[in-house]
């Protein structure tokens, strides 16, 4: 039986920066797992800008939209 990740179990999310269109890439039950996901993502995207970052799940609702991010390297949600 495989276990599906739910938002209630996740504690951290990997989020794209405003420059890369914002949005949640993945959710994880630990910061360490989220950081592993960040390293995997960096290895596949081909750029060195820091395309994604780790954000605590409880902070997702406070992230700005891509248009309101203020800086291209800030995490954002694709609203």
The pLDDT tens digits of the residues spanning 46-77 come to 776 778 999 999 999 999 999 999 999 999 99
Residue 4 covered by a domain: no
Q: What is the pTM of this model?
A: 0.83
Which residues of the chain form beta strands (DSSP E)? 12-16, 24-28, 52-56
Q: Does the structure show a pLDDT above 60 at 5?
A: no
Residue 37 covered by a domain: yes
Task: Decide: 36 and 26 in contact? Cβ < 8 Å.
Answer: no
Residue 76 covered by a domain: no
Looking at the structure of the chain, the number of domains it has is: 1
Residue 79 covered by a domain: no
Burial class (CB in 10 A: 0-12, 13-18, 19+), 73: middle
Range of the domain at 30: 12-68
């Amino acid at each position: 039986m495989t276990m599906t990740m739910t938002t209630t179990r996740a504690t951290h999310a990997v989020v794209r920066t405003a420059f890369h269109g914002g949005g949640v890439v993945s959710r994880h039950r630990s910061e360490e797992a989220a950081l592993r996901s960040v390293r995997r993502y960096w290895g596949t995207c081909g750029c060195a800008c820091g395309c994604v970052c780790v954000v605590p799940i409880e902070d997702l609702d406070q992230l700005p939209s891509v248009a309101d991010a203020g800086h291209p390297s800030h995490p954002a949600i694709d609203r």
